[in-house]
Structure 1
Amino acid sequence: MAAVTSEKSVAPDPRRWWALGALVTSMLVLGFDMTILNVALPTMADQLDASTGEQQWMADAYVVVFAALMLPTGLLGDRFGRRRMLITGLGIFLVGSLIGALVGSVALVVAARAVMGLGAALVMPLAMSVLPALFGPGERTKAIGIVSAASALGLPLGPIVGGFLLDHFWWGSIFLINVPMVAIGITACVLLLPETRDPSAPKVDALSTALTATGLAALVYGIIEAPGRGWSDPLVVGALSASVVLIGALVLRERRLVRPMLDLSLLAHRGFLLNTLAATLVMFVLSGLMFVLPPYLQAVQGNDALGTGLRLLPMMGGLVVAARGTEPLVRRFGAPAVISAGLTVLAFAAILGSRTTAGSGYGFVALWLSIAGLGFGFAVVPAMDAALGALPVDRAGSGSGLLMTVRQVGSAVGIALLGSLLSGVYADRLDTGGLPGPAADAASDSVVAAHLVAERTGAPGLVESANSAYAHGMDVVLLVGGVAALVAALLVAAFLPRSGRGTASGADMAPAPADVRQ
Structure 2
Amino acid sequence: MSTLSGAPAPPRIPEAVHRRRWAILAVLMFGLLIVVLDNSILNVAVKTIASPEPTGIGATQSELEWAMNSYTLVFAGLLFTAGLFGDRIGRKKVLVFGVAVFGVGSALAAFSGSPGELIAYRAVMGFGGAFVMPATLAVVMDVFERHEQPRAIGIWAGSVGVGMAIGPITGGLLIEHFWWGSIFLINVPVVVVALIAMALLLPDSRDPNPGRMDPLGVMLSIIGLILLVYGIIRGGELANFSAPSVLLPMVGGLVVLVCFVLHEWRTDHPAIDITYFKRPAFAAAVTAIALVFFALTGVTFFSAFYLQSVRGYDALEAGLLILPLAVAQMVVALRARLIVDRFGARSVCTVGMLLVAMVLAAFVMFDVSTPLWVIELVLLMQGVAMALITPPVTVSVMQSLPREKAGSGSAVSNTFRQVGGALGIAVLGSLLSTQYRGAIEGHLSVVPSGARQAAGESIEATLAAAERLGPAGKALIGPANEAFLHAMHLTALVSTGVALIGALVVAVFLPDGDPEPERESAEGAPGRALPVSGR
Question: Common fold, TM-score beyond 0.5?
Answer: yes
TM range (shorter): 0.7 to 0.9
Residue in 1 aligned with 2:417? 407
Q: Return the alpha-carbon distance in structure 1 between the equivalents of residues 213 and 311 of structure 2.
A: 48
Q: In 2, are the aligned partners of 1:9 and 1:136 still within 8 Å (CA)?
A: no
1:263 aligned onto 2:277: no
Pairing 1:15-94 to 2, within 5 Å after superposition: 22-46=27-51, 47-94=56-103
- For the pair 1:297 / 2:307, whether they are aligned, the reply is yes
Matched, 1:465 2:475: no
Quote the offset at 1:51 in angstroms: 2.4
TM-aligned CA distance change 1:87 to 1:331, over 3 Å: closer
Moved more, 125-134 or 332-341: 125-134
Q: 1:77 to 1:386 in 2, by over 3 A?
A: closer
Please tell me whether the aligned partners of residues 86 and 94 of structure 2 are also in contact (alpha carbons under 8 angstroms).
yes
> Whole-Å Cα distance in 2 between the matches of residues 107 and 137 of structure 1?
46
1:124 equivalenced with 2:133 (yes/no): yes
Rounded to whole Å, the distance in 1 between the matches of 2:19 and 2:398 is 33
Task: Quote the residue 2:521 is aligned against.
Answer: none
Once residues 150 and 364 of structure 2 are traced to their aligned partners in structure 1, the CA distance between those partners, rounded to angstroms, is: 41
TM-superposed deviation, 1:484 = 1.4
- Report the equivalent of 1:160: 169
Partners of 1:62 and 1:114 within 8 A in 2 = yes
Tell me the residue number matched to 1:511: none
Bigger Cα displacement from structure 2, 139-148 vs 103-112: 139-148
Identity of aligned residues (%): 38
**Stretch deviating more after TM superposition (242-251 or 223-232):** 223-232
Mapped partners of 1:288, 1:333: distance in 2 = 30
How far the C-alpha of 1:370 sits from its partner, in A, is: 2.0
C-alpha distance in 2 between matches for 1:396 and 1:84: 15
TM-score (norm 1): 0.86
* One-letter amino acid of the structure 2 residue matched with residue 337 of structure 1: S
Q: Deviations over 1:185-234 (max 9, x none)?
A: 22333455455555632566444444334433333333343363633333
- Partners of 1:329 and 1:136 in 2: CA distance: 20
- Over 3 Å counting, the alpha-carbon distance change for 1:398 and 1:77 in structure 2 is closer
Report the AA paired with residue 135 of structure 2: L
Instruction: Kindly state the Cα deviation for residue 480 of structure 1 after the two structures are TM-superposed.
Output: 0.9
Kept after mapping to 1: 8 A contact 2:75/2:129:
yes
Question: Are residues 438 and 200 of structure 1, via their aligned partners in 2, closer, same or farther at CA, if it must alter by over 3 Å?
Answer: farther
- Counterpart contact for 1:276–1:387, Cα < 8 Å: yes
Any conservation in 1 of the 2:95–2:132 contact (CA below 8 Å)? yes
Residue aligning to 2:317: 307
Secondary structure of 1:445's counterpart equals: coil
Counterpart among 204, 214, 222 of residue 231 in structure 2:
222
Give the length in aligned residue pairs: 502
| Larger deviation, residues 76-85 vs 179-188 | 76-85
2:499 maps to: 485
CA contact (8 A) 1:20 1:143 kept: yes
Distance 1:193 1:163 in 2: 33
Q: TM-score, normalised by structure 2?
A: 0.83
| Paired letter, 1:111 | A
Q: Judging changes above 3 Å, is the alpha-carbon distance between structure 1 residues 128 and 313 closer, same or farther for their aligned structure 2 residues?
A: same
User: Which structure is larger by alpha-carbon Rg, 1 or 2?
Assistant: 2
Q: Name the SS for the 2:456 alignment partner.
A: helix
Alignment check: 8 A CA contact 2:160 2:330 kept: no
Q: CA-to-partner distance for each residue in 1:158-190, whole Å, 9 max, x for gaps?
A: 111111111111111110000001012223334
Question: Which blocks of at least 5 consecutive residues in structure 2 are unaligned?
Answer: 1-9, 518-528
* Structure 1 residues 25 and 487: CA distance shift in structure 2, 3 A: closer
Pick which of 206-215 and 231-240 moved more: 206-215
For structure 1, which segment, 306-315 or 381-390, has the greater mean C-alpha deviation from structure 2 after superposition?
381-390
Q: CA deviation at 1:356?
A: 1.4
Counterpart in the other structure of 1:241: 251
With over 3 angstroms needed to count, the CA separation of the structure-2 counterparts of 1:217 and 1:432, relative to structure 1, is: farther
1:101 aligned to 2:113?
A: no
In structure 1, stretches of 5+ residues that fail to align are 505-515
Q: Classify the secondary structure of the residue corresponding to 1:302.
A: coil
- 8 A Cα contact 1:422 1:477, kept in partner: yes
**1:40, CA displacement in angstroms?**
0.9
Deviations 1:304-349 (A, max 9, x none): 1010111112222332343244334323332212211111111112
Map of 1:335-346 to 2, 5 A cutoff? 335-346=345-356
Aligned residue in 2 for 1:513: none
Change (3 A) 1:386 1:200: closer
How much has 1:456 moved relative to structure 2? 0.8
**Alpha-carbon distance between aligned partners in 1 of 2:311 and 2:474, rounded to the nearest angstrom:** 19
- Give CA deviations for 1:350-390 in whole Å, capped at 9, x if unaligned: 11212212332322222222222222222332233234455
Q: Does the Cα contact within 8 Å between 2:433 and 2:458 map onto a contact in 1?
A: yes
Instruction: State how far apart, in whole Å, the 2-side matches of 1:216 and 1:394 are.
Output: 24
2:523 alignment partner in structure 1 = none
Q: Any residues of structure 2 matched to 1:154-193 within 5 Å, and which?
A: 154-193=163-202
Q: 1:99 to 1:340 in 2, by over 3 A?
A: same
- Deviation string 1:432-470 (CA, Å, 9 cap, x unpaired) is 234233321111222111111111124352222222222
Alignment of 1:399-438 (within 5 A): 399-430=409-440, 431-438=443-450
Q: RMSD over aligned Cα, in angstroms?
A: 3.3
1:455 aligns with 2:460: no
Gap change, CA 1:265 and 1:133, over 3 Å in 2: closer
Residues 316-335 of structure 1: pairs in structure 2 closer than 5 A: 316-335=326-345
* Residue pair 2:207, 2:405 contacting (<8 A) in 1 also: no
Deviation at 1:140, TM superposition (A): 8.3
- CA distance in 2 between counterparts of 1:153 and 1:400 reads 21
Aligned to 1:445: 457
- State the AA in 2 paired with 1:27: L
Deviates more, 1:211-220 or 1:351-360: 211-220
Match of 2:524 in 1: none
The one-letter code of the counterpart of 1:489 is A
| Structure 2 match to 1:512 | none
Partner of 2:15: 10
